[in-house]
Chains A and B, each alone.
Chain A
Amino acid sequence: MAEIILSQDALASNNRAASHNRQLFEQYGVLVINVMSSPGAGKTTLLEKTIEALGDRYRIGVIQGDLATQIDADRVRARGASAAQINTHGVCHLEAAMVNKVLPQLDLEALDLLFIENVGNLVCPSGYDLGEHHRITVLSVPEGNDKILKYPVMYLRTELVLLNKIDVLPYFDFDVEQAIEDLRTINPKSRLIPLSVKEETNLDEWYQWIDEVYARWPKAVG
């Protein structure tokens, strides 16, 4: 029998679903940011603080990806954002189709900004386009600065690294300069912002980044 040449990207169907999501987001004028990290780096707390700080400026929604439970969605709802929870039931990352399925739970017309909090994992989430406009990664001090070189694909595909928990820097051997240098050797276009969500240190630089990308976004003008 003959060999049939397909030559297709394994992620072709995910990529199609992602383009569909992106079209929807653009139609409704929602800027979407995919937030990735290891478990426990502080994604949900970051989003809670961000909603509190920017809630007057932007109408914010959050999609929470977790293996199980509604805990995270409840946390951000308590801060006044609209939230939808995806439980992946064991799958280690979010896929575009999972995001699409929960979109009816959010009133896209009433949103300016949508954060998608990915499953805590530094490997697979980086491979899946969800239809977002920006990708950021939260790295926390206790994880160590070697994570950047150990998970290059994650950092290759992220444009902003938020280095969280800098309040505990005195207790860990985390070399911030080395982290910035390593990040540059993987992805020279990305940027690192050191901050502490808990102590509210340097959060303004992160908020400024959001303002910048939102202002730059063509849809925000029309």
Chain B
Amino acid sequence: MSHEVALMGDMLNIVAEDMQKHGLSKVEKLKLRVGTLSHSVPDALEMAFEIHKAMKAPILTEDSALEIEVEEARAQCVICGHEYVPDHRVALCPNCGVPGGKLIAGDAIRIVSYEGV
């Protein structure tokens, strides 16, 4: 949990920097895309967002909203080219059965966009 709080702090810093360039000061909505194989879960990020609000993060208000889009992990087999949704055996291709899969999506957290005033 402390992990998501720190991560949210980093993201708010990135947003704050960008807002300054646009002459904005408060976030109305922040949109994130969170991969299912990133090391964070939406619930914990939402809680972290609320914690930063409670800690009076300068760019957040009571009404600032967080929108999280979950990105399904995807892997592609380097042997047969098959694309699949990996389970815990990330590299194991369900088509050819060879562990030759590489993760191509779903391992990151991205700040997609924000709306501010």
Interface positions of A (Cβ within 8 A of B): 1-14, 90-93, 95, 123-124, 126-127, 149-150, 152-153, 156, 182, 184-188
Contacts and interface: CB of A to CB of B under 8 A. Distances in A.
Contacts of B7: 10-11
Contacts of A4: 18, 22, 24, 113-116
Contacts of B11: 10
A13 B99 contact: no
Contacts, number: 103
A182 B92 CA distance: 10
Contact of A9 (B37, B100, B108): B108
B88 A149 contact: yes
Interface in B1-47: 2-3, 6-7, 10-11, 13-15, 18, 22, 24, 28-29, 31-32, 37-39
Contact of A126 (B39, B91, B100): B39
Given A8-B110, A11-B10, A123 B3 contact: yes
A14 B3 contact: no
B60 interface: no
A150 B88 CA distance: 7
B56 to A, nearest CB: 20
B14 A13 contact: yes
Contacts of A93: 3
Contacts of A185: 89-92, 99
B105 interface: no
Nearest to B107: A153
Contacts of A91: 2-3, 6
A185 B31 CA distance: 33
A184 B89 CA distance: 9
B110 A7 contact: yes
B65 interface: no
B109 interface: yes
A146 to B, nearest CB: 10
Given A6-B112, A149-B89, A188-B100, 11 more contacts: A1-B116, A7-B113, A8-B14, A9-B111, A10-B7, A10-B32, A10-B109, A149-B88, A156-B103, A182-B89, A186-B99
Contacts of B3: 91-93, 123-124
B117 interface: yes
A186 B91 contact: yes
Nearest to A12: B14
**B11, B24, B39, B111 — which one has the most chain A CB atoms within 10 A of its CB?**
B39
A124 B5 CA distance: 12
Contacts of A3: 29, 31, 113-115
A182 B108 CA distance: 23
A127 B116 CA distance: 29
A84 to B, nearest CB: 21
A186 B89 contact: yes
B1 to A, nearest CB: 8
A122 to B, nearest CB: 10
B100 A6 contact: no
27 contacts: A1-B116, A1-B117, A3-B114, A4-B114, A4-B115, A5-B113, A6-B14, A7-B110, A8-B14, A8-B110, A8-B111, A9-B108, A9-B111, A10-B14, A10-B110, A11-B108, A11-B109, A12-B14, A13-B14, A93-B3, A152-B89, A153-B38, A156-B37, A184-B99, A185-B89, A186-B91, A188-B91
